[in-house]
Structure 1
Amino acid sequence: MKCISLFVCFFIGLQSMVVPSYEVLISNIESKVDTVDENQASFLSMKCRDVSKSIEFKQTNLMARVEKQEKCVDELERRYKQKKNYYELKKLEYGFELQTIQRNNSILYPYKIQKNLELYFEEYREIEVEYLKHKKQLDKNQNTLLLYDEYLKRLSNCQNYLFKRFSNLAQINEAGQHNEDSMISGTEHLPDYGGYESWQQNGMSCLVDGNYEIDSYSSFWQNPVENGTISAGCWSYPDGGLHLGLDIASAMYSDVLAVANGIVLYAYAPVDSNNGYLGNWCGWPNGGGNTICMVVAVNERLYAITYAHLSSEIYVTSGQQVSQGTVIAKSGNSGNSTGPHTHVEVFELKQDLNSIVEYFRNSGADFSFGCGYSEAATCSGYACRIDPETVLEGV
């Protein structure tokens, strides 16, 4: 108990520091990832998140400064080289002139030449000093950016290690409360086609309560996150913890696409794009952060697909029909997440679209479609949760 109190007090003390020493903060976190217990794992993961966000804020501001400094230094270097070359040229020209003047035993003219050379030299040296001063500051800031990158890598390693030790905490479940306004409402004037990249003009395409339609079936599955990599497969994490979907890692704010033609059942972004840490139960479902749920039509069959841990940049609304390949959101690190990725779950539906929408509305936005969150590969009267890799192409 005493150790835990010291642990908490240490971080409280660090939070009160006016200028954080990132080396001290990160070293302290690194020293605890091996020994922290499950009760404090979420707290430590949150500290990793907070320190990372602080560094990223400073990094963004410094990068903007460096960009301006680089332009300034380039211009100073150009002027410095120009002045230096001009001085060297005049020095060479005057050297030839001096040889001629010395033959004529002139005294005054060499003095003028020397004064002119000194003037050119002073101009060249002045701009050189200015250039070297700004170059030194630029080098310092560029080295700081490299240091920030190293800090962020170390914090990411800490998050990954915490995740490996406590993957049981990295869950999504049906606790919490959904947002009623973000669920498909069933009114007679729902949104028509649309998306981030294009707004298609296909008539009103309004959906009437009890008469929902998806205009056409897709013939294949679109990769949900282009240029992503699978960071965790379906059914279990590497340490054996239950995992009910597919994790696709990608850079923050990568495009998240509609895998097929479909209709949005739920779309809500209640939290910041990068607020994730282990055991963060925000969003709906609990821990999902910013989420989307859709019904899609592929090869004469209906499926539901859910996206979790998105950024706050969501470009669709519930009730909206979306065509395959449309950018529906940007990826993020929200909710119960320890790094930028998109968690994807797929359900093969057993009933028609109207019955599924009615169930979704009456159940209070059940993203599991009756399959729950406690077992792998489960089925209900409405759907079966399946491994996304069995249908997604090119992931």
Structure 2
Amino acid sequence: MATGKDHKYPLKKVESEIKKLEKQLAASEDKLIVSNDSNNPFIKHRQSLIDRIETAKRKIEIEKLKDKYTVKREEINAPNIEPPEDIIKRNLTKLGKKILAVKLEIKFSGRGKTKLEEELKELTKQKLAFEEKRKILVEAKKKSKQSEQLKPSTSVNKKEKKRKTATKPIKVSSKPVFSYKFLIAKGKVLENLIVDWDSIFFEDGRIKFRLDKRRFVWYPCNQSRSSYEYIKLYLKRKEIEPLQLQVSNERVRSIANLDLLHDVIQILKIKIEWNKMALKESAVDVSSILRSLGSLSSKAFDYFYKNKNLTPYLRTLCEIQELDYHIIPVLEPVNSNYISSLNVNKESFLFTIRRTNVYIIWESIEVNKATFIFTTKEATYLEDLQKIFDYISSHLRNKRTNLRKGIINEDGQHIQSHRTLYHTTLEKWTEKLFEFLI
């Protein structure tokens, strides 16, 4: 099979199609409707995008497998690559005929006998070399068969070769999920599996893992909700490591990185709260987000929020954040001037710093947006935090402009920023920040 430009299947075209589809899918997350209605046209459109991406990825995988296991013509005559067994057989047959012809010529012809003997020696050397290559190829084939027998079959009905020693799981990117097994008792086999998030499905009260095309196992989890399935794309975009399972008799015995699963569920809870707020389904209680953040490990929070794309302003605020308080993620709906029905949600954060007073600082992930500092007291901290959170997550227009003036929100509550810091240079911004935090 040819490669590169001569490739029979347009891999580059498919890969670019996947990128376009994934962009559409990522863009649709901002308008995500948390609904269980399967007839909803928006959900159908999202599912159609997901199916198209999966189909395109499978096509690429099939072509790559074909490339891997097909011997290329240019490789047969390459100097450092072993030819396949059938080519060696043909070469040995040709050499055998040539050697026989030379021997007959030596026997019945007296002319150029020395030359013919030298040619015979050369042909014999070539034959021995090809026989040696054939032996190596046969040995390699035997070893390959033995290793294939040790690997478990993905079929449920097929008998697996049992191993007595444990083997560390190896990440396999292609589907279905592959595993390594070892014997734990008579008739019982324990599998070590690595399952990607594409093969993990959230249901109410449990999580489903796809181990093969028609093979599934379930894990009980009271905090799991089927609605998380609609926002699972967020996990793919964050490139979170897969889960490591141990399965025996079609039951999940343990999850090695269970803490990661716990952290993922807390993050999805926060995302659901954000979506409810974006759709105005219900008022979001900031204390529910604080509870979810409280259940997060510090490692997970860094992994999800303190990523490499942080602005220098966000990095500085992360460093001076009060450790007794949480950094709170909050979505800021930005109404489009072109399409009145389209709302884009921008991520931002609320930081807390304690000096003589307690300060709540609002900072966006967008570097061109100003920093807002609010003043509060410990006694009224949660109440003021809720007011600020509600104001930022509301669908009011010109929120930032109004904050500079001092405004009254929908409930008649007064919200005013203590200071506004513009992003001129990091040095000037930092100098003014510490000047205000007295």
**TM-score normalized by structure 2?**
0.29
Higher relative CO (Cα under 8 Å, sequence separation at least 6) belongs to: 1
Larger Rg, first or second structure (1 or 2): 2
**TM-score normalized by structure 1?**
0.31
